[in-house]
Amino acid sequence: MLPAALDDIKILDISQGISGSYCSKLLADFGAEVIKVEPLGGEQLRTMGPFFDDDPNPEKSLIHIVLNNNKKGITLNLETTSGARMFKKLVAQVDVVVENYHPGYLKSLGLSFEDLEKVNPKIVMTSITGFGQSGPYSDYKSEDIVAYAMGGVMAFSGTKDREPLKHGGFQSQYEAGLNAALSTGFALFGRDFDGESQHVDVSVQEVVNASLVMNQPLFPFSGAVQGRRNPKGTMYTQIMPCADGYFVSQTGARATWDDQVRFYGKPELAEERFANPVQRLDHGEEFDSILLNATKDRTMKEMFKTASEEFQMLFGISQTPEDLSSCPQLESRDFYQEIDHPVIGKIKIPFRLFNITESPFQHRNSAPLLGQHNEEIYTENLGYSKEDVIRLRELNII
């Protein structure tokens, strides 16, 4: 193993779902030893589809396999007195705890940050919640769509004639996981200097809002508030159809407007009434119809290549998971990693987020089976005998 940024760091991840698992996955990829601590029935990711072969077996959840990669796994019932006591003993041996329970839940089990700080004065505890640990909404329940509504993105997503629209997938959860990983990273780097504990408080609502660098400051500077776009005459720079799918094009980079006109092969686009973005909007419907006509017989792949290579345009095509699973660019970046999972066998998973010359992403082991490391952790780290481990299992503590 090459030396890694976090190869001296141990982490307990008691989170469930995408955000916390993604956070500790990133830390594990940089060498931290991460122990996923699951409730006896397994964490939520194991119940999330899609499943390998569409078989809803908790070991076959594909997103669990991606986001709990490189971790060890134990089960522990934190809601029992013994379970909570055992957890505290583990906390005394680690550097970081990652959790995403509702504020106050861990406190009710005697496992709040203040409680854990007493057994480990250098602990970094990272909490990810819908609305943060404080403030009038802290007790509110959240979900991806709620974060998108109250984080401000939905207000200007979609069209004016319809309801506000959220992003597809679970973007707020991924964004929150990334923010949790970076704030934990800085807490650990800071701790190297001052040796102090930290409670890292990540709010998913604020994470969503934090991307609105055009939207947020507009109001305090001028009172203006962005809305949703008009459904007609605003297609350019949005998503447009072509022969076999959809594409998007932007002005800028090295392409001039003349380059764009040549790319679309419609000389009338060079006319004065389309000369700048404001004029293109003023004549939007006419503009859109010329573009639609210009692209209706062209394919996504041809346009992507021609626009990018010959005209240096900012151009994207609406790719599908199929396109991305066999994408030569992602392959050249070593994005996927082949793993050998004990239940589903060899499979490739999305793995490397970026390239780095030192401390590179290293695959060590696939996601743990439920309770796979119980015996190892409870005997080696907490000093129980094998018989104790069996008894703890019988008592539903592990």
Partner 1 sequence: MSRLPLEGIRIVDTSAIFAFPYAAGVMADLGAEVIKVEGPSRVEPIRTGMLSGAYPENTPGDDPWNRTPTFHVVNRGKKSLVLDLRNPKGLKVLKELVLSADVFLENFTPRVTRNWGMDWPNLKEMKPDIIMMSNTGYGHGDGPYSDYPAVATSQEASHGLTHLTGYNGGVPSKVGQSYVDFVASWTCLFALSMALRHRKKTGKGMWVDIGMYQLGAFHISEYLMDWVANGKDRSNRIGNRHPWFAPQGCYPCLGDNDWAVLSVRDDHEWEALCNTMGRSDLVNDSKYIGHANRLKNHDELDQIIGEWTKKYDKWEVMEKLQDAGIPAGPVMDSRDMNTNKHYWDRGFMEKVESDDPTLGTRVLMGRPWKLSNTPISIKGPGPKLGEGNHRYIVGELGYSEEEYQELIDEAVTADKPADTRPIPTGNLDDMVAKGVYGYWDPEYRKKLGI
User: Footprint of partner 1 on residues 42-81 (CB under 8 A)?
Assistant: 48-50, 52-54, 62-63, 65-67
Q: Least distance in Å: CB of 228 to partner 1?
A: 7
**Could you say which of 180, 339, 370, 389 contacts partner 1 (CB under 8 A)?**
180
Amino acid at position 156, single letter? F
Q: How many CA atoms lie within 13 A of 225 on its CB side?
A: 4
Q: Least distance in Å: CB of 36 to partner 1?
A: 17
**Could you say which of 115, 259, 286, 323 contacts partner 1 (CB under 8 A)?**
323
Q: Least distance in Å: CB of 229 to partner 1?
A: 6
CB closer to partner 1 out of 154 and 392 = 154
- Counting beta carbons within 10 angstroms of the beta carbon of residue 34, is it exposed (0 to 12), middle (13 to 18) or buried (19 or more)? buried
Q: Among residue numbers 348 through 387, which ones bind partner 1 (CB under 8 A)?
A: 348-350, 352-359
Nearest in space to 315 (alpha carbons), one of 258, 236, 243, 244:
236
Angle (CA) 115 19 39, round 5°: 55
**Could you say which of 92, 189, 268, 285 contacts partner 1 (CB under 8 A)?**
189
Do 131 and 203 touch, CB atoms closer than 8 A?
yes
Site membership for partner 1, residue 346 (CB under 8 A): no
Site membership for partner 1, residue 179 (CB under 8 A): yes
Residues 6+ positions from 123 with CB-CB distance below 8 Å: 91, 94, 95, 96, 97, 113, 116, 117, 197
CA distance 156 to 175: 19
Site membership for partner 1, residue 171 (CB under 8 A): yes
CB closer to partner 1 out of 247 and 378 = 247
Q: Among residue numbers 120 through 159, which ones bind partner 1 (CB under 8 A)?
A: 130-132, 134-137, 140-146, 148-158
CA distance 287 to 269: 8
Residues 6+ positions from 120 with CB-CB distance below 8 Å: 91, 92, 94, 197
The three-class DSSP label of residue 164 is: coil
Site membership for partner 1, residue 319 (CB under 8 A): yes
Please state, in angstroms and as integers, the Cα–Cα distance from residue 11 to each residue in 102, 345, 377, 392, following that order.
20, 27, 13, 23
Q: Least distance in Å: CB of 129 to partner 1?
A: 11
Residue 217: phi, psi to the nearest 5? Answer: -75, -10
CA distance 363 to 345: 16
**Could you say which of 40, 109, 119, 330 contacts partner 1 (CB under 8 A)?**
330
Q: Least distance in Å: CB of 374 to partner 1?
A: 27
Q: Least distance in Å: CB of 1 to partner 1?
A: 14
Site membership for partner 1, residue 107 (CB under 8 A): no
Site membership for partner 1, residue 188 (CB under 8 A): yes
Spell out, one character per residue from 269 to 288, where the chain touches partner 1: x when CB under 8 A holds, - when not: --------xx--xx------
CB closer to partner 1 out of 210 and 382 = 210
Length of the chain: 398
Q: Least distance in Å: CB of 353 to partner 1?
A: 6
Q: Among residue numbers 194 through 253, which ones bind partner 1 (CB under 8 A)?
A: 194, 196-203, 205-207, 209-230, 234, 237-239, 241, 246-250, 252-253
